[in-house]
């Protein structure tokens, strides 16, 4: 069967693939510890779940307007006002079926063939493919652990060409947990403003920030770019609601209107029940977020400490999100059973086969010296998993 050229240009999400493989192994009775998770291991808080049950009981089970219900848009408007000091009209807000879908729709309404989209690496795995699916070209700007995994304004400038249409900023970042400094964001915003480049700011890890650091969004820092910027956010990570599929965006009415049109001809509305639950997530008590953050800090600190004790491994302390992105290149060149580990894919295979530990190879994020280890798993599993990694590496 001849499929479209479009689908031939992309790969399945490697992050979802690793998690699926680990779950499959576990279901076959193999005792695997998965550091692959891209979702909190906590349950959705009860107050949020109760609202979903209530919505079902009340029969809130029909189509809603394609861009989402007014009540949830109001909750999102209040969130942007209170948390980010940004004032959006309801016509500037859309609700989608998860933030991945938000990004997909943004790409579909903004990009044409030949447009270039600047993406700092390490990047979240779906950015290049979402850009490619819209026929545009991802332009990757490398960053290193030495520079804290953030794109410098100079490197951003160098990547710009007359075809540059947009830049994607993700702070805190998946996979590195890096948080862009305010100065850096302001400089990037200034360049984008001068060169009329659209800024797509993926702020999905906004609330998962550690050590008393504060979130600063690029648009709040430089409101001059508000008319050429879209914020992407969602409830998946902050409220442990990955399965509910609610993401949202705020931006210029033309962009939001066009996204609503696309949505009306593709998915229709995001799930009606999940929309009701999302209102409670955004407007109800927020203490579950603090509980999660406190637990994540303990796990992060333990893992960073233990990983840095291993010869050939070095790991920065992430400032946000729930991933570590350790550099394992010191292990490359070592051998086992007549095989040599020379890249992140081979390392991940080695860890899965020999340590029964699942991790996402860095190459999926555009950085082959690294692997991604999530800390969204219990402390007990983390301790056992790190022990297994050490023991397996000792055999090399």
Judged by the rule CB under 6 A, the positions of this chain that interact with ligand PMP are 38, 98-100, 124, 170, 174, 202, 204, 234, 236, 242, 247
Which of 159, 168 has the CB closer to ligand PMP? 168
**Span 101-130, contacts to ligand GLU by CB under 6 A:** 124-126
Choose among 362, 385, 73: nearest CA to 246: 73
Q: Which of the choices ligand PMP, ligand GLU, none does residue 13 contact, using the CB cut-off of 5 to 8 A by kind?
A: ligand GLU
CA pair distance 320, 6, nearest whole angstrom: 34
21 binds ligand GLU (CB under 6 A): no
10 binds ligand GLU (CB under 6 A): no
Choose among 63, 127, 118, 134: nearest CA to 99: 127
In the complex, minimum distance from the CB of residue 388 to ligand PMP, in angstroms, rounded to a whole number: 25
In the complex, minimum distance from the CB of residue 14 to ligand PMP, in angstroms, rounded to a whole number: 12
In the complex, which residue's CB is closest to ligand PMP? Answer: 98
Q: Which of the choices ligand PMP, ligand GLU, none does residue 275 contact, using the CB cut-off of 5 to 8 A by kind?
A: none
245 binds ligand GLU (CB under 6 A): no
CA pair distance 185, 229, nearest whole angstrom: 13
15 binds ligand GLU (CB under 6 A): yes
Q: Which of the choices ligand PMP, ligand GLU, none does residue 170 contact, using the CB cut-off of 5 to 8 A by kind?
A: ligand PMP
Spell out a b/e string for 357-370, using b for 16 or more CB atoms within 10 Å of the CB, else e. Answer: bbbbbbbbbbbbbb
Which of 75, 360 has the CB closer to ligand GLU? 360
383 binds ligand GLU (CB under 6 A): no
Choose among 263, 239, 243: nearest CA to 95: 263
38 binds ligand GLU (CB under 6 A): yes
In the complex, minimum distance from the CB of residue 288 to ligand PMP, in angstroms, rounded to a whole number: 17
Sign of CA dihedral 373, 379, 385, 389: positive
Q: Which of the choices ligand PMP, ligand GLU, none does residue 201 contact, using the CB cut-off of 5 to 8 A by kind?
A: none
Which of 126, 228 has the CB closer to ligand GLU? 126
CA pair distance 168, 235, nearest whole angstrom: 20
In the complex, minimum distance from the CB of residue 163 to ligand GLU, in angstroms, rounded to a whole number: 27
Which of 16, 160 has the CB closer to ligand GLU? 16
Which of 124, 350 has the CB closer to ligand PMP? 124
In the complex, minimum distance from the CB of residue 371 to ligand GLU, in angstroms, rounded to a whole number: 13
238 binds ligand GLU (CB under 6 A): no
Which of 51, 101 has the CB closer to ligand PMP? 101
Query: What is the signed CA dihedral for 158, 159, 165, 168, rounded to 10 degrees?
Result: -110
In the complex, minimum distance from the CB of residue 354 to ligand PMP, in angstroms, rounded to a whole number: 28
Which of 120, 153 has the CB closer to ligand GLU? 120
In the complex, which residue's CB is closest to ligand GLU? Answer: 38
Size of the site for ligand GLU (CB under 6 A): 9
Which of 192, 357 has the CB closer to ligand GLU? 357
Q: Which residues bind ligand GLU (CB under 6 A)?
A: 13, 15-16, 38, 100, 124-126, 174
């Amino acid at each position: 069967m001849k499929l479209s050229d479009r689908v031939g240009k992309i790969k399945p999400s490697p992050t979802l693939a690793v998690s699926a493989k680990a779950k499959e192994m576990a279901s076959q009775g193999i005792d695997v510890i998965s550091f692959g998770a891209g979702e909190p291991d906590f349950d959705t808080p009860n107050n949020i779940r109760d609202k979903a049950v209530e919505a079902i009981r009340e029969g809130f089970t029909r189509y809603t307007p394609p861009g989402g219900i007014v009540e949830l848009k109001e909750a999102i408007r209040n969130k942007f006002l209170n948390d980010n000091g940004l004032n959006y009209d309801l016509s500037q807000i859309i609700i989608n079926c998860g933030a991945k879908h938000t990004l997909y729709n943004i790409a579909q309404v903004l990009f044409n063939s030949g447009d270039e989209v600047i993406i700092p690496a390490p990047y979240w795995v779906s950015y290049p493919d979402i850009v490619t699916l819209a026929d545009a070209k991802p332009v990757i700007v490398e960053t290193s652990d030495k520079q804290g995994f953030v794109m410098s304004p100079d490197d951003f400038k160098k990547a710009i060409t007359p075809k540059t249409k947009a830049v994607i900023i993700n702070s805190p970042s998946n996979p590195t947990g890096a948080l862009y400094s305010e100065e850096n964001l302001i400089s990037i915003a200034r360049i984008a403003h001068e060169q009329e480049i659209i800024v797509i700011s993926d702020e999905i890890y906004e609330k998962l920030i550690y050590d008393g650091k504060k979130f600063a969004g690029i648009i709040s820092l430089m409101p001059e770019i508000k008319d050429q910027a879209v914020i992407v956010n969602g409830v998946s990570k902050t409220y442990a609601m990955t399965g509910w599929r609610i993401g949202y965006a705020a931006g210029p009415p033309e962009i939001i209107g066009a996204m609503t049109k696309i949505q009306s001809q593709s998915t229709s509305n995001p799930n009606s029940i999940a929309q009701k639950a999302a209102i409670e997530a955004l407007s109800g008590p927020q203490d579950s977020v603090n509980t999660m953050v406190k637990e994540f800090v303990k796990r992060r600190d333990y893992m960073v400490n233990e990983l840095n004790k291993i010869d050939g491994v070095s790991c920065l302390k992430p400032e946000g999100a729930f991933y570590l992105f350790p550099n394992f290149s010191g292990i490359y060149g070592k051998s086992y059973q007549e095989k040599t580990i020379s890249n992140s894919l081979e390392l991940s295979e080695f860890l899965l086969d020999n340590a029964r530990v699942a991790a996402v190879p860095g190459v999926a994020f555009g950085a082959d010296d690294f692997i991604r280890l999530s800390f969204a798993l219990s402390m007990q599993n983390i301790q056992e998993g790190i022990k297994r990694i050490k023991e397996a590496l000792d055999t090399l």
